[in-house]
Structure 1
Amino acid sequence: MRGYAGNLVAVAALGLLAVCANAAHAEKKYDPGASDTEIKIGNIMPYSGPASAYAVIGKTEAAYFDKINAEGGINGRKIKFITYDDAYSPPKAIEQARKLVEDDGVLLIFQPLGTPSNSAIHKYMNVKKVPQLFVATGATKWGDPKHFPWTMGWQPNYQSEGRIYARYILDHLPNAKIAVFWQNDDAGKDQVKGLRDGLGGKANMIIADKSYEVSDPSVDSQIVALHDSGADTFFSWAAPKGSAQAIRKVGELGWKPRFFLANVSASVAGVLKPAGLQNAKGIISTAYLKDPTDPTWKDDPGVKAWRAFMDKYYPTGNQSDQNNVYGYAVAQTLVQVLKQCGDDLTRENVMRQAANLKDLSVDVLLPGIKINTSPDDFFPIEQMQLMKFDGATWHLFGDVITGEVGHQATH
């Protein structure tokens, strides 16, 4: 009889343990910015100033979160997206980051745009232990979990992109004489480093380079000097306005180099049209997202889903602007991270889940390109494909190329 009673006590104790375990499992954990009903997300964009061509990214993201909220939110919680203008000015970015963290009490700052602005808030975000997540810049320093565990990039980093071009040049243009036009900040320096590193022992193929400041009203003198260098291959690593001016000036000079254009400035609507489509014909760039102006994707389910979203939630958005595809893809990535967080909406868990994305594919990534992260890999996308502009649309060619930094690029 005692054995039976003992068993009952044991069973009851086990039952109690199970209840405690379930309660612990069901316990909701929140940091500032999260509750049973809401997730507050901060954002900083250049809605004005010299990089305002990127402002549509913030508008697309806001529209995507409207869509998520209309469909019931994330695990029952609505997203409150608070986005501020920093005019692409580092001091203003610091002011807006403080406002978001200290006054608005956001859970994280998502997709703050620009290398200078993110550099300005980099230390602050890490001291405050607030995620600076999926920053909208490809500088390589956003992938340094050891020193900056609260900051993560999203798009392929600039050094990867530089290595991918170098691979193409070594394979197809081994005698090229290269002139490089670059933005005088971490972004431009990174891209040039990737190209040099990728060329390796052949880096002396670069015979001239000129930098410019994003605030420069004109870049004509730099382009003229590069034209006069005798180069037959030209690289433009500049923000949209600088790239559009460079393309136009190359055209005006009647210069016909093999022209490579940074992915961040490959927007038909934002760069190539203002530069003059006739001047942009033949330009080579890289892609990791589908381009809705490319007839290849006319019936693609992912692009169709994006178009339906644009029609309903952002009808004034330009459907030939690649930045609107980018904003959609990165917003989808954040939604996946927040879904994975479940009821543990702490800043620490946000970073843990962001560093645990496995072969994630979002609607508009090119086939074969997947998002992967780990606790020691904060570079979500490291693959790209080359594309060429025919005067109307971009056309992909070649294979998907990996340009991992620290690894030799492989096909």
Structure 2
Amino acid sequence: MSVHFNDSFPSSDGAAPWGRRQVLAALAAGLVSTGALAQKQYDPGASDTEIRIGMSMPYSGPVSSYGIIGKVNDAYFKMVNERGGINGRQVRFVSYDDQYNPAKATEVVRRMVEQDEVLAVYGNLGSAANAGLMRYMHAKKVPHILLGVGAERFSDPASFPWTMPFMPSYDAEGRLYAQNILKTKPDARIAVLYQNDDFGKDLLKGLKAGLGDKAKTMIVGEASFEISDPTVDSQIIKLQGSGANVFVNFATARFAAQAIRKVWDIGWRPDQQYLTYVSAYVKMTLEPAGLDKSKGIMAMAFFKDAVQPRWANDPATQEFLAFMKKYAPGEDVTNAASVYGYCVAQTMAHILKQSGDRLTRENVLKQAASLKDFRPGLLLPGLAMNTSPTDYWPFGALQLVQFNGKEFEPIGQSIAVR
């Protein structure tokens, strides 16, 4: 930045004009405010012309259907660059396949940080993979933000300030299901299928906490599964034998679909079924399971499913569909993870824009922890994102929805989770 001085400036107290040498001397002594003359600040991954950001994503492996999140982010920043970039800088999106494998995720993120020198890593999926990266990212002081996780350990600003979730708390989600069960079916006998990792365990912990003292008598069956298991058929047969009349399905999309279909096929007819928001997608989960087998299932939600009829005339949905058609024409717009990815991209773009010319890792983290009623266009009505240096959870409320055979429809008003 160059600064041009006139031969003299009027002094603030009406005294004789200052000469050039006096001004320079005052600046050196800190006697003149330099706020307007502040220099741009950069860390690795940023410059006058470019911002490099990284994302690890399962483009292959057992949950490859979520890989569309990374593809949508790549397309989104191509659109941003075509429109002039962010604060005049082009965004370089760096992404590698982690196969939903913690060891592979560590390998590719280290590559992004140490070789590609990204300014920040964001949007990575999976509790196990991200947990394995927390100490590394903390040591390197690289933002590890907007993560596709909701386990409690990822919102711990006192111990791990560089790590921040994007998804709502799994524990809080489990508590909301417990509240609904206690309200609508207080004599319920509950069976729970859960993934054997932070994701499933935190949901189960929240469910039990929400049920309180009644958890010991109301939960009559529990069955876990590994992400490497071929099916969950044996677990569903076991849970049916518990005599439960409420089935709680804490599984990612592929296994959630298997469970719904198996429940139906063996003739088990629970009075109520609950599905975690991670899998509450019509195209990804309920269609493979069978729409007729899925009717009545309840879930929590925080963003719109762009292909549902109820959002056909929604301006933000139309904007998203137009974006997908132009910038990601080969991707499946019916995969609702594309909407999630779009929301992540919008949020990251907002954080970078708010960072201005101070593109340091510390400032990017500060902006991520300072969201105030930020609303990506595809959030459900009534919801907004808010974060603070002491509370990294971005969503303070969720919406209970129920599948009517065609789409999820809202039940009542949004429910506070904290």
From 234, 248, 256, the counterpart of 2:247: 234
1:225 positional shift: 0.5
1:374 positional shift: 0.7
Corresponding residue for residue 118 of structure 2 = 106
Aligned 8 A contact 2:57 2:96 in 1: yes
Superposed CA deviations along residues 146-201 of structure 1, whole A, max 9, x for unmatched, are: 00000000111111111111111111111111000000001111000111111122
Give matches, 1:111-130, under 5 Å: 111-130=123-142
Give matches, 1:9-408, under 5 Å: 17=27, 21-22=34-35, 24-25=37-38, 27-204=39-216, 205-257=218-270, 258-404=272-418
Mapped to 2, the partners of 1:105 and 1:65 lie a distance apart of 18
Secondary structure of 1:8 counterpart: coil
Mapped to 2, the partners of 1:383 and 1:216 lie a distance apart of 33
Aligned 8 A contact 2:167 2:394 in 1: yes
Deviates more, 1:309-318 or 1:331-340: 309-318
Corresponding residue for residue 5 of structure 2 = none
Deviates more, 1:181-190 or 1:393-402: 393-402
Mapped to 1, the partners of 2:42 and 2:203 lie a distance apart of 39
Mapped to 2, the partners of 1:170 and 1:23 lie a distance apart of 58
Aligned 8 A contact 2:122 2:146 in 1: yes
- Aligned residue pairs: how many? 400
The structure that has the greater radius of gyration is 2
Unaligned ranges ≥5, structure 1: 405-411
Secondary structure of 2:16 counterpart: helix
Superposed CA deviations along residues 222-266 of structure 1, whole A, max 9, x for unmatched, are: 100001100000011111111111111111112111110111111
Mapped to 2, the partners of 1:328 and 1:23 lie a distance apart of 35
Distance 1:229 1:6, change over 3 A: closer
Mapped to 1, the partners of 2:211 and 2:357 lie a distance apart of 48
Aligned 8 A contact 1:282 1:391 in 2: yes
Corresponding residue for residue 16 of structure 2 = 8
Mapped to 2, the partners of 1:303 and 1:385 lie a distance apart of 18
Superposed CA deviations along residues 313-359 of structure 1, whole A, max 9, x for unmatched, are: 11222222211110001111111111110000000000011111111
Mapped to 2, the partners of 1:274 and 1:223 lie a distance apart of 17
1:202 positional shift: 2.1
1:9 positional shift: 5.4
Mapped to 2, the partners of 1:49 and 1:24 lie a distance apart of 51
Deviates more, 1:198-207 or 1:260-269: 198-207
Q: Which amino acid aligns with 2:323?
A: F
Superposed CA deviations along residues 28-78 of structure 1, whole A, max 9, x for unmatched, are: 110000011111011101111111111111111111111111111100011
The percentage of counterpart residues that share the same residue type is 49
Secondary structure of 1:43 counterpart: strand
Aligned 8 A contact 1:157 1:382 in 2: no
Secondary structure of 1:134 counterpart: strand
Q: Which structure's residues are more often helix, by fraction?
A: 1
Aligned 8 A contact 1:235 1:261 in 2: yes
Secondary structure of 2:164 counterpart: coil
Mapped to 2, the partners of 1:379 and 1:169 lie a distance apart of 24
Q: Which amino acid aligns with 1:365?
A: L
Unaligned ranges ≥5, structure 2: 1-10
Aligned 8 A contact 2:247 2:273 in 1: yes
Mapped to 2, the partners of 1:122 and 1:212 lie a distance apart of 25
Corresponding residue for residue 3 of structure 2 = none
Secondary structure of 2:186 counterpart: coil
1:7 positional shift: 2.1
Aligned alpha-carbon RMSD (Å): 1.8
Mapped to 2, the partners of 1:333 and 1:116 lie a distance apart of 23
Deviates more, 1:119-128 or 1:272-281: 272-281
Mapped to 2, the partners of 1:37 and 1:20 lie a distance apart of 28
Mapped to 1, the partners of 2:380 and 2:281 lie a distance apart of 16
